[in-house]
């Protein structure tokens, strides 16, 4: 009888592979476990088992596996189902999903080397047969690789054996077994057993009469022991006795104290004290009831609550109910780094039940979170995270909250899987028969449309908490301001006056500019040349602080030029402006005040955002300039004025979602103003004050915006009326991309006729020396999505067999955002 397993390999190939295993392995293995397998000539991968069976593959001879990596499944059957859905819906391989889904520690296999432990006397009689084999082998060789261990023992599952030998102190391993994941060990101490009797203790203290420092440490150890039954950390002992690690080490060396280690989680929250959640006001209470009612009938409810209406407090109540029932909750956020405020708020309520799943966390921290979720531990009952947390191994998920559901960063753009976390979360929730709440002050058109179609429930909350008025939004016409010379730098007199007033009242100000750097274009006054990135089709942005020209697409940078590269003229000017220039102007206009800046350049590093946000909260910054980072759910008490420096470059973006996005962004930024008693003020500077979107922003008219935009989407055949799939051809050779995408478009047109647009170069067609050209497939509602994808797949396959096009990458983006 022969046995086989199907596995997913973490590579872009679109199928599963079959390997052969022996009977024991077949009985041991379960779907969701990992095995190390060879693929290609020499590469070894961690592959995930999906099926154990007895059918040999037809076209190839199944290779043996190298070894088994897990003792229990690390991936659940729900997850495997979700991976399949993602790979089918978003047209990518399951291996690509696997890569995105697993913490990297699960993917990489480091080489493990086993050493003989020379420090220990080993009693050979205590070793089992297989243990002895390895022990003996190590008498001849000082180190062994895993492969060699398997050869010696004659089986592939050697992990338990190695673990036993480590425990018996026969061997040590360099690097942890197979994985990068290292449990964090905390040092503890206790008194050696020989001294625990009363006489022993007395003798010990007497013997230390001339070592008062050591004696002191011991006395404190007893005190700590008397205070609690908990194990005593070395760190705490040192602190309590005001001693040093040297003294403790002496005691350990003298065999008076015994040192031991216990595993702990890296991320731990201090707070034990849990605050009770806030009482809702009448409007919040009504909203909460309406959401619960709608969820009795529907799986998804859209919660449309204006900025600062107190949506978070409503979520908290929903979460509390799930916790009471022992269910897990997932709280999805667009960008976790920007939400320290929210996290600490939730920590106050839920304390240790909250786990944050964070891309900035280390490999190890992510593995710990993964395991806690899988084991349904209390400390991971609520998970808060960005889009990749939909991949966690939930077992009992009752509710998913998707905060700021309109945010486009929920869609992964590159690499595959190009999934939308909101839509994926809805699929995930169905598997558990759970519920989803989508929350936003400016819902995505698609979501609002679904609510109007009664596919989702809809609940509105139109009042700000504490009856604070919505901010007063005014448009400032830059054309007339420039004509009348009422501008100072990039500030209109209207905006300047408002800033002065706010500062005089001791209030804070937020200024929004969509670009970072000093100015996006440098131009020669003599010949008009402007320096371009050699790798991308964009001009280089001038950064004044570093005196550099930088490309925002590939990171290329050079020192600022002294003269024109084309004609040698020294007359270089800058055009357009970014956050850095605004910051500089502010420093000159308001030298007495503190100016801060929040953009990609000032928020690098693990705590980059937190530092700036805290400074602003603490009042160390009076005026904060920033990019769209400022729009994301921040709650500052003392901000009364928000200025948008230039609305036009948002509106003019060539994308069918540009108007919707501009509305959302400006409403969100405006929503930062006036969150307490005083009504906030918002000034939007623009050359087009009569633009429909700006008019709608200024009167807070979401419904009007929705009606206009949905009408346009209908007319021009865009989502939600048509689905879209974008196909991009990419290659470093311009002609190749042209020919390849022409061929693709022609083939697609045979099936889809006028519903194929392009091929067309995007506004920035070359990035990192690769040309991109796009084809858009529009799929009407009645057309089968499945068949459409099958046709695309077929065309893609024939494309791959054409020699001239080899090397041209095809990137498929379903529901392109």
CB 727 within 8 A of CB 774: yes
Q: What is the Cα–Cα distance from 238 to 225, expressed in whole angstroms?
A: 14
With both helix axes pointing from N to C terminus, report the angle between 340-350 and 608-617 in degrees, rounded to the nearest 10.
80
Partner from Zn ion, ligand ADP, none binding residue 527, C-beta < 5-8 Å depending on class: Zn ion
Q: How far is CA 452 from CA 301, 302, 430, 664, in A?
A: 11, 10, 21, 19
Residues 65 and 35: beta-carbon distance below 8 Å:
yes
- Residues 647, 480: Cα–Cα separation, whole Å: 16
Q: Please report where in the chains the tokens 């730098």 appear, as a residue.
A: 489
280 binds ligand ADP (CB under 6 A): yes
Closest-CA residue to 585 (of 643, 523, 504): 643
Q: Read out DSSP for 493-520?
A: HHHHHHHHHHHHTT-EEEEE-S--SSBS
By beta carbon distance, the residue nearest ligand ADP is 310
- In the region spanning residues 465 to 484, those forming contacts with ligand ADP, defined by CB under 6 A, are 465
Which lies closer to ligand ADP via its Cβ, residue 313 or residue 523? 313
Rounded distance between C-alpha atoms, residue 159 and residue 178, angstroms: 9
Contacts (Cβ under 8 Å, ≥6 apart) of 799: 740, 743, 744, 747, 805, 810
Q: Indicate which of ligand ADP, Zn ion, none lies near residue 761 (CB less than 5 to 8 Å, by partner kind).
A: none
Residue 551 contact partner, candidates ligand ADP, Zn ion, none, CB within 5 to 8 A by sort of partner: Zn ion
Region near ligand ADP per CB under 6 A, out of 82-90, 236-244, 307-315, 391-399 = 307-315
Smaller CB separation from ligand ADP, 401 or 651:
401
Which of Zn ion, ligand ADP, none has residue 533 at its interface (CB below 5 to 8 Å by kind)?
Answer: Zn ion
Distance CA 540, CA 518 (A): 11
With residue 734 as reference, give the H or E element that holds it.
helix 734-752
Among 206-214, 311-319, 429-437, 749-757, which window interacts with ligand ADP (CB under 6 A)?
311-319
Of the ranges 309-317, 564-572, 654-662, 683-691, which one interacts with ligand ADP (CB under 6 A)?
309-317
How far is residue 106's CA from residue 181's CA, in Å, rounded to a whole number? 8
**Under the criterion CB under 6 A, does residue 668 sit at the interface with ligand ADP?**
no
Instruction: Select from 94, 311, 327, 731 the one that contacts ligand ADP (CB under 6 A).
Output: 311
Q: CA triplet 325, 327, 329: central angle to 5 degrees?
A: 130
Give the nearer residue to ligand ADP in terms of CB position, either 304 or 657.
Answer: 304
Through-space distance between the first and last CA atoms of the chain, rounded to whole angstroms: 51
Tokens of residue 128, six digits: 């089992």
Nearest distance in Å: CB 405, ligand ADP: 12
Site residue total, ligand ADP (CB under 6 A): 16
The minimum distance between CB 517 and Zn ion, in angstroms, equals 13
The answer to whether residue 508 forms part of the interface with ligand ADP (CB under 6 A) is no
| The binder of ligand ADP chosen from 87, 214, 308, 602 (CB under 6 A) | 308
By the rule CB under 6 A, 278 interacts with ligand ADP:
yes
Choose among Zn ion, ligand ADP, none what residue 487 binds, the Cβ cut-off being 5 to 8 Å by kind: none
Q: Which does 281 bind (CB under 5 to 8 A by kind): Zn ion, ligand ADP, none?
A: ligand ADP
The entry of Zn ion, ligand ADP, none that residue 312 binds, CB within 5 to 8 Å by partner kind: ligand ADP
Which H or E element spans position 172? strand 171-174
CB of 696 to ligand ADP, least distance (A): 20
Residue 459, token pair as written in the block: 């609940």
Q: Which of the listed partners (Zn ion, ligand ADP, none) does 747 bind, with a CB threshold of 5 to 8 Å by partner kind?
A: none
From the list Zn ion, ligand ADP, none, partner contacted by residue 305 (C-beta under 5 to 8 A by kind)? ligand ADP
Pick from 236, 320, 477, 635: which binds ligand ADP (CB under 6 A)?
A: 635
Partner from ligand ADP, Zn ion, none contacting 526, C-beta within 5 to 8 A by type: Zn ion
Among 103, 305, 393, 626, binds ligand ADP (CB under 6 A): 305
674 near ligand ADP (CB under 6 A): no
Using CB under 6 A as the binding rule, the residues of this chain from 761 to 800 that contact ligand ADP are none
What token pair was written down for 740? 């390849």
CA-CA distance, 195 to 639, in Å (whole number)? 63
- CA dist 622 and 594 (Å) reads 5
Residues forming the site for Zn ion (CB under 5 A): 524, 526-527, 529, 533, 535-536, 551, 553-554, 556, 564, 566-567, 569
Contact stretch for ligand ADP (CB under 6 A) within 308-316, 394-402, 538-546, 642-650: 308-316
Query: Cis omega (within 30 of 0) on the bond before 415?
Result: yes
Taking alpha carbons only, the member of 457, 387, 336, 360 closest to residue 90 is: 387
User: E strand or H helix at 329, and its extent?
Assistant: strand 328-332
Q: Which two tokens stand for residue 763?
A: 């506004």
CA gap 336, 621 in Å, rounded: 23
Among the residue ranges 156-164, 305-313, 409-417, 701-709, the one whose residues contact ligand ADP (CB under 6 A): 305-313
Give the interface with ligand ADP as residue ranges (CB under 6 A): 278-281, 284, 305, 307-313, 465, 635, 675
């Amino acid at each position: 009888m022969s046995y086989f397993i199907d596995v997913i390999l973490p590579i872009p190939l679109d199928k599963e592979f079959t390997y052969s295993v022996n009977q024991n392995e077949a009985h041991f293995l379960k779907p969701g476990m990992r095995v190390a397998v060879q693929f290609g000539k020499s590469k070894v991968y961690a592959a995930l088992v999906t099926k154990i069976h007895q059918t040999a593959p037809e076209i190839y001879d199944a290779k043996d596996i190298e070894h088994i990596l897990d003792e229990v499944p690390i991936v659940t059957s729900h997850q495997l189902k979700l991976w399949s859905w993602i790979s089918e819906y978003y047209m990518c391989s399951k291996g690509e999903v696997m890569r995105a889904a697993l913490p990297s520690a699960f993917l990489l296999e480091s080489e493990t080397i086993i050493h003989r432990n020379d420090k220990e006397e080993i009693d050979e009689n205590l070793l089992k047969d297989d243990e002895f084999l390895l022990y003996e082998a190590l008498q001849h060789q000082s180190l062994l690789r895993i492969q060699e261990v398997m050869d010696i023992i004659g089986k592939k599952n050697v992990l338990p054996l190695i673990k036993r030998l480590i425990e018996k102190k026969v061997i040590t391993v360099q690097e942890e077994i197979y994985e990068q994941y290292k449990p964090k060990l905390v040092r503890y101490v206790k008194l050696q057993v020989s001294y625990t009797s009363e006489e022993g203790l007395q003798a010990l203290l007497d013997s230390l009469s001339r070592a008062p420092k050591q004696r002191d440490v011991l006395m404190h150890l007893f005190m700590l022991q008397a205070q609690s039954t908990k194990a005593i950390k070395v760190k705490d002992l040192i602190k309590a006795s005001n001693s040093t690690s040297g003294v403790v080490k002496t005691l350990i060396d003298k065999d008076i104290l015994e040192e031991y280690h216990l595993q702990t989680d890296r991320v731990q929250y201090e707070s034990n004290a849990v605050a009770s959640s806030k009482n809702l006001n009448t409007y919040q209470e009504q909203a909460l009831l309406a959401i619960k009612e709608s969820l009795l009938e529907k799986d998804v409810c859209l919660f449309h609550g204006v900025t600062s209406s107190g949506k978070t407090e409503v979520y908290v109540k929903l979460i509390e109910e799930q916790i009471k029932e022992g269910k897990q909750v997932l709280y999805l956020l667009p960008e976790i780094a920007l939400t320290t405020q929210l996290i600490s708020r939730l920590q106050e309520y839920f304390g240790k039940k909250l786990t944050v799943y964070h891309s900035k966390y280390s490999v190890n921290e992510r593995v710990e979170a993964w395991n806690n979720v899988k084991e349904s531990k209390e400390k991971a009952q609520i998970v808060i995270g960005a889009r990749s947390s939909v991949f966690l191994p939930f077992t009992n998920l009752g509710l998913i909250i998707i905060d700021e559901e309109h945010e486009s960063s929920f869609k992964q753009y590159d690499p595959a899987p190009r999934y939308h976390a909101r839509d994926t979360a809805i699929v995930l929730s169905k598997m558990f028969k759970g519920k989803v709440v989508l929350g936003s002050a400016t819902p995505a058109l698609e979501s609002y449309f679904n609510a109007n179609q009664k596919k989702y429930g809809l609940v509105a909350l139109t009042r700000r908490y504490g009856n604070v008025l919505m901010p007063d939004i005014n448009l400032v016409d830059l054309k007339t301001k420039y004509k009348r010379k009422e501008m100072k730098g990039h500030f209109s007199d209207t905006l300047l006056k408002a800033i002065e007033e706010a500062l005089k009242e001791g209030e804070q100000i937020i200024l929004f500019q969509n670009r970072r750097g000093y100015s996006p274009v440098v131009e020669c006054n003599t010949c008009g040349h402007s320096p371009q990135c050699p790798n991308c089709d964009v001009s280089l942005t001038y950064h004044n602080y570093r005196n550099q020209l930088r490309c925002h697409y590939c990171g290329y940078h050079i020192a600022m030029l002294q003269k024109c590269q084309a004609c040698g003229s020294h007359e270089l000017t800058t055009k357009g402006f970014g956050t850095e220039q605004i910051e500089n102007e502010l420093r000159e206009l308001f030298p007495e005040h503190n100016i801060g800046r929040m953009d990609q350049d000032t928020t690098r590093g693990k705590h980059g955002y937190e530092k700036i946000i805290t400074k602003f909260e603490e009042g160390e910054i009076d005026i904060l300039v920033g990019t769209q980072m400022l729009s994301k759910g921040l709650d500052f008490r003392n901000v009364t004025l928000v200025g948008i420096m230039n609305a036009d470059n948002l509106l003019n973006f060539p994308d069918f979602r540009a108007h919707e996005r501009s509305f959302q962004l400006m409403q969100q930024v405006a929503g930062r103003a006036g969150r307490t008693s005083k009504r906030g003020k918002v000034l939007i500077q623009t050359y087009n004050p009569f633009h429909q979107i700006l008019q709608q922003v200024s009167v807070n008219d979401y419904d009007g915006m929705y009606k206009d935009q949905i009408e346009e989407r209908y007319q021009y055949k865009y989502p939600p009326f048509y689905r879209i799939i974008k196909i991009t051809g990419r290659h470093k050779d311009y002609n190749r991309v042209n020919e390849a995408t022409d061929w693709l478009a022609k083939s697609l047109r045979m099936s889809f006729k006028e519903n194929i647009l392009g091929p067309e170069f995007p506004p920035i067609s070359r990035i990192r020396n690769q040309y991109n050209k796009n084809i858009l497939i529009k799929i009407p509602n009645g057309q089968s999505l499945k068949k459409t994808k099958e046709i695309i797949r077929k065309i893609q396959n024939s494309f791959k067999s054409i020699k001239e096009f080899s090397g041209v990458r095809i990137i498929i983006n379903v529901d392109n955002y």
